[in-house]
Amino acid sequence: MAQSVPPGDIQTQPGTKIVFNGPYDDKHTYHIKVINSSARRIGYGIKTTNMKRLGVDPPCGVLDPKEGVLLAVSCDAFAFGQEDTNNDRITVEWTNTPDGAAKQFPS
């Protein structure tokens, strides 16, 4: 049985959080850079706690060692004060990927 190797580190810019400022009656888009700072190829996927309000493009992909990708994170318009946004989160998950894996996925 093959021994699994934990995935290497990634970096995000900004490093901890993004804040969407009002007014909230229009869609806002900010950018996050995800960098594979490890020596191994990784596959990443983005999850959100509120898929109706938060979107990410591209939502998944493959990064070679030291490669980065710019993600567009959007927040759709919503009624401020009428919706709870305190628990809205975006999570980056990643894992090691075989060297021959496809760089893009069919949509």
pLDDT in tens, 82-107: 888 888 899 999 999 887 777 766 65
| Calpha distance 74→88 (Å, rounded) | 12
pLDDT at 46: 95
* Percent of all residues in the chain with a pLDDT value above 70, rounded to a whole number: 93
Task: Please compute, for residue 101, the number of CA atoms within 13 A of its CA located in the half-sphere on the CB side.
Answer: 17
Q: Show the domains of the chain with their CATH numbers.
A: 20-84 (2.60.40.10)
| Calpha distance 87→60 (Å, rounded) | 22
Summarize pLDDT for 9-48 with one digit per residue, the tens: 999 999 888 888 888 889 999 999 999 999 999 999 999 9
